[in-house]
Structure 1
């Protein structure tokens, strides 16, 4: 059962050098990812006079986020596991692959990375607005809520299959590629409806810097539920809890 491995962790864990290094890696990776993803959208808006809702804008967003996440996961994988997403961290927690305290440390680092990236974008673009996630015309809050759950489930399930599962073997080397691909594909599928966040940190930074919070709860509740469900499903059905060693702390 996955829940038997869920742990709060020791208070001193938050000050251990390896935990602080992991948090710093999450901060830098999230900063790089959000700067590339959000920045590409701002650049496209400038070049096309706010044409980001066009088909070409959707493809551009998919490529930028897919490539950016591939790099962000790759550079942090050997230090923190390369979560770059509070929903991934939460999914790893409910599956017993990271302690609560270490997970909170990751969350703080991820949110700070997103905020700093958006502040840097606003400064370096001479005050351009960072675009907060929002619903398209005709899309209801519950439509977007379910969409975020399904897309994030697919993302975290991919993370489990390619990066967390101890039976993954050599497939682990393609984890960053697969994770980047699923995010890019989900943006093509859901970007025209609610922006396809799948990541509370990616939504939080632009919302804070632009101070736009309308329907912001969707971009937390949906991804966290989807990520948590993926963690429980994969751990319960596909990971044997008999006869394998626990993952190192650097791997989720």
Structure 2
């Protein structure tokens, strides 16, 4: 088991996910601070999170795929874009990065401006059920955008995936802030929750985004753009085993998703 884990570990990709998630959470949470001279607006917070994710996708997309979100990694695992081992290490990196980002910002921010410190909670009299539904729907649109904007099979002009994904995050925040503070990302929720010691209703921000992300994967792969890869190749991808040449070619032709730049390389740095 340890041998399999070490064989699937790529240090460069791990560090890319950790650093990018750290920067995203640090900047995003920073936009929620209530400075005495300026109370943060919905537009400010929405565009900070959106620009943050778009910038990081552009910065490390070619290194790790720039998931920065456990829900995205799990969706790509369900869609057989990455292996189980890669998913495990990516989620660890994302969680560490989010905690470091939240903890460092907490140290820099004067106590009087922290407020709720961006902790996701049901708000404006939203019930837990309503909050959960909102998180499912908002993450659904985000992951659909990720799958569609990074689909290598498309022949039309898709524009910039980083910009599209960033705008999708902005869109989610413009509605979601009023219900939950808008998560769509379990790591983004976990960082400030741990720093503030506030895990009330925290389950919503795991169940909601993961459910929405998996639904998006199933809708895209089985309804919008069927991902026609054999079961044997899917299993090889999930196991991260060495593929035969014909399987490599089939995997290359049908490689789809945000992680395609990472998964297409068979010369990963092993540690």
Among 28, 35, 46, the alignment partner of 2:35 is: 46
Distance 1:32 1:192, change over 3 A: same
1:158 paired to 2:145: yes
Aligned position for 2:91: 107
Distance 1:48 1:190, change over 3 A: farther
Aligned position for 2:154: 168
Distance 1:12 1:80, change over 3 A: farther
Aligned position for 1:133: 120
Question: Alpha-carbon deviations, 1:53-107, whole Å to 9, x = none?
Answer: xxxx111111101111111111111011111111111110111101111101000
Cα distance in 1, alignment partners of residues 263 and 57 from structure 2: 12
Which stretches in structure 2 are left out of the alignment for 5+ residues?
Answer: 230-249, 265-271
1:118 paired to 2:118: no
Distance 1:251 1:82, change over 3 A: farther
Distance 1:12 1:157, change over 3 A: farther
Cα distance in 1, alignment partners of residues 52 and 228 from structure 2: 34
- TM, length-normalised to structure 2: 0.80
Cα distance in 1, alignment partners of residues 105 and 147 from structure 2: 32
Aligned position for 2:166: 180
Q: Deviation at 1:193?
A: 1.2
Distance 1:74 1:12, change over 3 A: farther
Aligned position for 1:7: none
Aligned position for 2:262: 250
- Larger fraction in helix: 1
Contact in 2 for aligned 1:94/1:231 (Cα 8 Å): yes
* Matched residues, number: 235
Aligned position for 2:23: 32
Distance 1:14 1:79, change over 3 A: farther
Cα distance in 2, alignment partners of residues 66 and 87 from structure 1: 17
Cα distance in 1, alignment partners of residues 85 and 219 from structure 2: 23
Q: Computing the radius of gyration over CA atoms, which structure comes out larger, 1 or 2?
A: 2
Report 1:1-252 matches (<5 A): 12=3, 14-16=5-7, 19-42=10-33, 45-47=34-36, 51-52=39-40, 57-127=41-111, 129=114, 130-163=117-150, 165-169=151-155, 171=157, 174-237=160-223, 238-241=225-228, 245-247=253-255, 250-251=262-263
Aligned position for 1:5: none
Which stretches in structure 1 are left out of the alignment for 5+ residues?
Answer: 1-9
Contact in 1 for aligned 2:102/2:192 (Cα 8 Å): yes
Contact in 1 for aligned 2:228/2:254 (Cα 8 Å): no
Cα distance in 2, alignment partners of residues 112 and 92 from structure 1: 20
Partner SS state of residue 92, structure 1? helix
Distance 1:180 1:249, change over 3 A: closer
- TM, length-normalised to structure 1: 0.86
